[in-house]
């Protein structure tokens, strides 16, 4: 085995792969946050909790109903999306006329309730979720062993991000969505049902979180705290990338995942803090964020 900068290649590439996986989750979550923010003007603090619920729904589908991973990958985002519509209609929609900070506080409360309920029901130790048989095992790439499931997660996360970008930038639905983000009153005047569009946007954003949750289930144990560990880092990712552009969120997410992975190789003590350090540097040099438009 050869080595790079005195680091054995399998270790280096293994950590970069782990970084890409985390990066995929950062990208999916920050993408959802950005879409929701654009339309609803709230920061969805419950995003982490809904990511966790996505994983739990997959676990429940498998253990209670015997529905396998592949169907869960479709069903769980659907179920969480419907749950999102209920949340938006029942509580979040009452806040649109208020200061945006109330949206943050409300969704924070929602996150506490959801996580608390799941912790009561399932404890905090975590439940195992098996990798589906087709994706288990590993292939030897010559410079490293690639566990197939991990490669799959990176590819799927990237494809879903790309699909979201295509929907928003290249379809009619996407252009209505972008127009409604710019000027909801005008779009409503053209006969578009904007409140419904808002609900669907929220559903779409949280469905992305749930999808990430299902992808994460076999990698991390399914655990009521898995979302809150992620969400604060994702906030930093959002601050770094700025919420102005979809591609920006995706690139920032994957990029920061790699940075985190490399830090684990070269200076493991800092691996938990490196994203926050990057955030500080970005704030000092480009306060609006790497892809942000306004300050």
Partner 1 sequence: MLGYSRAQGMALGILIALVIVAPGVLYPVFVMKVLCFALFAAAFNLLIGYVGLLSFGHAAFFGIGSYVTAWTAKNWGLTPELAILLGGLGGAVLGLVFGWLAIRRQGLYFAMITLALAQMVYFFCVEAPFTGGEDGIQQVPRGRLFGVFSLQNDMAMYWVAAAIFLAGFLLLHRVVHSPFGQVMKAIRENEPRATSLGYRTDSYKLIAFVISTFMAGIAGGTKSLVFGIATLTDVHFSMSGEVVLMTLLGGLGTIFGPVVGALVVTGMENYLAPFGAWVTVTQGVIFIACVLAFRRGIMGELGALLKIDL
Q: Is 112 in the site for partner 1 (CB under 8 A)?
A: yes
If the CB atoms of residues 79 and 110 are measured against partner 1, the closer one turns out to be 110
Of 23-42, binders to partner 1 (CB under 8 A) are 37, 42
Interface characters, 40-59, with partner 1 (x: CB under 8 A): --xx----------------
Q: Do residues 39 and 171 make contact, with C-beta atoms less than 8 angstroms apart?
A: no
Q: Is 235 in the site for partner 1 (CB under 8 A)?
A: yes
Which are the contacts of 215, defined by CB distance < 8 A and separation ≥ 6?
Answer: 24, 25, 28, 73, 153, 156, 157
Q: Which stretch binds partner 1 (CB under 8 A): 23-31, 67-75, 115-123, 153-161?
A: 115-123
Q: Is 221 in the site for partner 1 (CB under 8 A)?
A: no
Q: Which of 74, 139, 162, 283 binds partner 1 (CB under 8 A)?
A: 283
If the CB atoms of residues 88 and 115 are measured against partner 1, the closer one turns out to be 115
Q: Is 269 in the site for partner 1 (CB under 8 A)?
A: yes
Runs of H (alpha helix) within the chain: 9-40, 47-65, 69-90, 100-122, 148-170, 172-182, 184-189, 194-216, 226-241, 246-266, 274-285
- Mapped to the 3 state alphabet, what secondary structure does 183-234 carry? CHHHHHHCCCCHHHHHHHHHHHHHHHHHHHHHHHCCCCCECCCHHHHHHHHH
Angstrom distance (rounded) from CA 213 to CA 225: 12
Q: Which stretch binds partner 1 (CB under 8 A): 77-85, 104-112, 158-166, 190-198?
A: 104-112
Q: Which of 11, 78, 85, 104 binds partner 1 (CB under 8 A)?
A: 104
- What token pair was written down for 250? 């995706």
Angstrom distance (rounded) from CA 99 to CA 27: 27
Q: Residue holding tokens 């469905």?
A: 207
Angstrom distance (rounded) from CA 238 to CA 37: 11
Q: Is 1 in the site for partner 1 (CB under 8 A)?
A: no
Interface characters, 178-217, with partner 1 (x: CB under 8 A): ----------------------------------------
Q: Is 293 in the site for partner 1 (CB under 8 A)?
A: no
Q: Which of 65, 94, 155, 266 binds partner 1 (CB under 8 A)?
A: 94
Q: Which of 198, 236, 250, 290 binds partner 1 (CB under 8 A)?
A: 236
Residue 194: strand pairing partners: none
Strands 7-8 and 138-140: unpaired
The minimum distance between CB 184 and partner 1, in angstroms, equals 18
Angstrom distance (rounded) from CA 180 to CA 187: 6
Please state, as a whole number, how many other Cβ atoms lie within 10 Å of the Cβ of residue 81: 24
If the CB atoms of residues 176 and 228 are measured against partner 1, the closer one turns out to be 228
Q: Is 119 in the site for partner 1 (CB under 8 A)?
A: yes
Q: Residue holding tokens 């684990």?
A: 264
Binding site for partner 1 (CB under 8 A): 37, 42-43, 91, 94-95, 98, 100-102, 104-106, 108-117, 119-120, 228, 232-233, 235-236, 238-239, 269, 272-273, 276-277, 279-280, 283-284, 287, 295
């Amino acid at each position: 085995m050869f080595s790079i900068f005195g680091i054995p290649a399998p270790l280096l590439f293994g950590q970069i792969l782990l970084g890409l996986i985390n990066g995929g989750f950062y990208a999916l979550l920050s993408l959802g946050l950005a879409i929701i923010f654009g339309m609803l003007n709230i920061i969805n603090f419950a995003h982490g909790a809904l990511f966790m619920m996505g994983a739990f729904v997959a676990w429940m589908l498998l253990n209670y109903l015997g529905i396998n991973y592949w169907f869960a990958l479709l069903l769980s985002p659907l179920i969480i999306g419907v749950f999102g519509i209920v949340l938006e209609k029942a509580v979040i929609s009452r806040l649109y006329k208020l200061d945006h900070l109330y949206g943050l506080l409300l969704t924070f409360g929602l996150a506490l309730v959801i996580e608390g309920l799941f912790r009561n029901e399932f404890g905090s130790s975590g439940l195992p979720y098996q990798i589906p048989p087709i994706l288990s095992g590993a292939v030897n790439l010559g410079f490293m062993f690639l566990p197939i499931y991990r490669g799959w997660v990176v590819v799927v996360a990237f494809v879903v991000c790309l699909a979201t970008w295509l929907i928003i930038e290249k379809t009619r639905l996407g252009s209505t969505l972008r127009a409604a983000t710019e000027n909801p009153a005008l779009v409503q005047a053209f006969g578009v049902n904007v409140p419904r569009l808002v609900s669907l946007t929220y559903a779409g954003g949280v469905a992305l979180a749930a999808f990430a949750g299902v992808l994460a289930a076999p990698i991390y144990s399914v655990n009521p705290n898995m979302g809150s560990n992620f969400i604060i880092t994702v906030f930093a990712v959002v601050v770094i990338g700025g919420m102005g552009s979809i591609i920006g969120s995706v690139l920032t997410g994957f990029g920061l995942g790699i940075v985190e992975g490399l830090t684990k190789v070269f200076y493991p003590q800092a691996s938990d803090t490196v994203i926050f350090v990057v955030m500080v540097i970005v704030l000092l040099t480009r306060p609006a964020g790497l892809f942000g438009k306004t300050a």
